[in-house]
Amino acid sequence: MFVCTLLTDPSNPALDPALIDNLRNAWGGGDVQWLAVDEAAAFALERVPDNQWEVWSDLQALGVDLVVLPAEGRRKKMLLADMDSTMIQQECIDELADVAGVGARVKDITARAMNGELDFEAAIRERVGLLADLPEAVIGQVLETRITLMPGGPALLATMKAHGAYAALVSGGFTAFTAAVAAKLGFDENRANTLVTDNGVLTGEVGVPILGQQAKVDALEEITARLGIAQADVLAVGDGANDLGMLGRAGMGVALHAKPAVAAQCDVRVNFGDLTALLYLQGYAKSEFVTP
């Protein structure tokens, strides 16, 4: 059995009941379950429809996300999340670069790297090199004034953890940011790269080894082995090319507002919903969300 879930932007919920009913009838689905009024609904299916992606494309034009997943094992025991543009709304290195006066150049490199056009390790070395001599204190200022949580993140963490899930934040960004974001949201652990400093300023170097795509896969393997759970028990979420490894290995790999080249390689794509979409995909109704 499978479950078809339809989602829309929770800040402008306008999921049409007639649309849901028409799709359910066309696909021979079960009764519709409204997970949140006008925002998220689901129904059971006996098989994956042949025209899933044609319908998906049509619904995208209406601002609706459509995801078909196996019914068994929907609720996951672990969350493995990227940070930049996933758990937070910014790319930390772009914000630091903006303060350093090299924002446009770094932002371009970031966008190309996240879309898979550049080697990740070379790109991070180049960008961090442009931050040489930036005072370390700027990191705290950027955290306080420029970094905002992605909507739905607090509810996602609080709800999954209330149901016994483990949460790990694994980023190609920097520990100075992941530590703060992980603490704020309630992650159990965080892994990221290190900005090298000397006498209170950034040297323009990155600590080695550099954590890229393989490090996220390693985290998935190491943490699941430590917890004694299967990789199928993991929900992974990210938006960039360096997330593809973990998204492909996890039981549910969600491309959230992902770069086009990344989304094209993922079967679970959330383009309109926020992080609460990850709860709906697991079958949680809005009435079950835990307020942190």
Residues linked to residue 34 through DSSP beta bridges, in sequence order: 41
82 catalytic residue (yes or no): yes
Residues linked to residue 45 through DSSP beta bridges, in sequence order: 2
For residue 28, the tally of other CB atoms under 10 A from its CB is 12
Q: Distance (Å, rounded) from C-alpha 161 to C-alpha 153?
A: 12
For residue 146, the tally of other CB atoms under 10 A from its CB is 16
The beta strands (E) that lie in 175-274 are given as 189-193, 195-198, 201-206, 234-238, 252-256, 268-270
Residue 80's SS3 state is strand
Reading the block at residue 92, the tokens are 């930390």
84 catalytic residue (yes or no): yes
Q: Which long-range contacts (CB under 8 A, 24 or more apart) does 228-233 make?
A: 229/77, 229/78, 232/73, 233/73, 233/76, 233/77, 233/78
Which residue has 């955290």 as its token pair? Answer: 143
Given the residues 16, 38, 50, 82, select the one marked as catalytic.
Answer: 82
Given the residues 16, 38, 50, 84, select the one marked as catalytic.
Answer: 84
Terminal CA-to-CA distance of the chain, rounded, Å? 33
125 Cβ contact partners less than 8 Å away, ≥ 6 residues apart: 206, 210
Active site residues: 82, 84
